[in-house]
Structure 1
Amino acid sequence: MKKKIFLLILPFFCVALNLKAQKIGYIDTEYITSKMPEYQTAQAEIEKLTTKWIKEVSDKNDEVAKLERNFRAEEILLTEEMKQQRQRTIIEKEKEAKDLQNKIFGINGELLKKKQDIMKPVLDEVAKAVEKIARAKKLDFLFDKSSDGIAMLYTNPIHDYTDYVMEELGISPDQIKDKEREENEAKTSEDNKGSDATEKPKSNRKNTTPKKE
């Protein structure tokens, strides 16, 4: 019985020994990209494009809504043939609006393709930096802390290589941390001032109630 248990445990023991010999690290790509000027520029471009396309789709829907309002207002004055023509026009415009929306915002739509095109140079730059750091630090595995596909319940900071990747990209982690600390201190100071201002002032009026003799 003991021999069977040993044979069952042996593969897991070997895997554990193998993993122990390998060097593992992690980074936070979401944090890294948020500090990259190139990423912020790309995000602004995507937002601008998204706003433009939303307006185009909205204009199409507004056109349909206007045709429907006009039809309802004039329906009583139209002949049967004219009604059918108006209804066909409305149906065609509705289809155009839906087709445009699917073309831009649908699965594999223009927006997704444009996002991939705009973000590719930025992500390629990060990937090169990641590979360089992984090789320099002789890592066997490098995980992404911000990825939805990996649940990291605990991370030891000694295995965090985020700062190394940022330095490789020309971003100073120390400067960013100092700036964030200053912003937090300034925010805390403002919150404290606001809290003090909302406190009720103590009354300086003396108690004039006469003492009982």
Structure 2
Amino acid sequence: MQKLITWMMAALLLGFTATAANAQKFGYVDSEFIMSKLPAYAQAQQELNTLSGNWQKDIESQKRDLDKLYRNYQAEEVVLTEPMKKKRQDEILKKEQDIKAYQNKIFGFEGQLFKKRQELTKPVQDQVFEAIEKVAKKKQLAIVFDKSGDLTMLYTNPVHDYTEFVLEELGLASEDRNQPAQKGAVRTVTTPTAPAGVEEGTAEEAAPTRTKTSARPASRKN
């Protein structure tokens, strides 16, 4: 089944490429590289990292409270009556459930971090997509691929790279700013590890939040 899907995707891509080569122009851009050049995107990432760290500290604090409840119960278990044991056990269980619920609320699918990421990054993404659309119309491109997307591009000819034109459209193509990205992964928000004894929430996004090293071509088109 996986081979069939892979073959179908390859055939579809080949069909698109053949159509573009025979009739219309196509190109690609590196959206992650472009967004890394936008101050608003860097600011959004910094704010998300700060929020994520604060929420993680809150969870760690709740975890310490849970550990304290459990240690106290263990130390006093031998002198507790059965009703008292039951009450203390229920307190510990409720604390565990509260931590899990809070973690899912913050870091789970469509949790607060997910919604905040959308709120902060969507305006930047819309700005980039609008610039890409303008470049596509100016250059009469029928298809524009995203080099940093899920579509794997095994080889890219720099002559089809329109990333620089998008940067120009955004006013970021000056000599001191439109430079190749430094080697290494782009920093993104990492979902914190769940406290001990608590299952992790469902992974979010869209994410994406994928990390990728972006390199700029040396050539330039007219």
1:49 maps to amino acid: L
| Rounded Cα–Cα distance in structure 2 between residues aligned with 1:40 and 1:177 | 16
TM-score, structure 2 normalization: 0.70
- Corresponding position: 1:73 with 2:75: yes
Alpha-carbon spacing, 1:16–1:44, altered in 2? closer, same or farther (3 Å): closer
- 1:110-125 counterparts in 2 under 5 A? 110-125=112-127
Deviation string 1:26-68 (CA, Å, 9 cap, x unpaired) is 0001111111111100000100110111112111221111100
| Rounded Cα–Cα distance in structure 1 between residues aligned with 2:56 and 2:139 | 46
- 1:1-213 counterparts in 2 under 5 A? 16=18, 19-147=21-149, 149-172=150-173, 174-176=175-177
| Rounded Cα–Cα distance in structure 2 between residues aligned with 1:174 and 1:180 | 13
Structure 1 unaligned residues grouped into runs of 5+: 1-11, 182-213
Q: Which runs of 4+ in 1 moved over 6 A?
A: none
Q: Secondary structure of 2:57's match? A: helix
More helix by share: 1
Contact 2:30 2:163 in 1 (8 A): yes
Shift of 1:172: 2.1
1:160 maps to amino acid: D
Alpha-carbon spacing, 1:52–1:125, altered in 2? closer, same or farther (3 Å): same
| Rounded Cα–Cα distance in structure 1 between residues aligned with 2:102 and 2:139 | 49
User: Once superposed, what is the RMSD of the aligned Cα atoms?
Assistant: 2.2
Deviation string 1:90-132 (CA, Å, 9 cap, x unpaired) is 0111100000011111122211111111101110110111111
TM-score, structure 1 normalization: 0.73
Aligned length: 168
| Structure 1 residue aligned with 2:211 | none
Q: Secondary structure of 2:175's match? A: helix
Q: Secondary structure of 2:89's match? A: helix
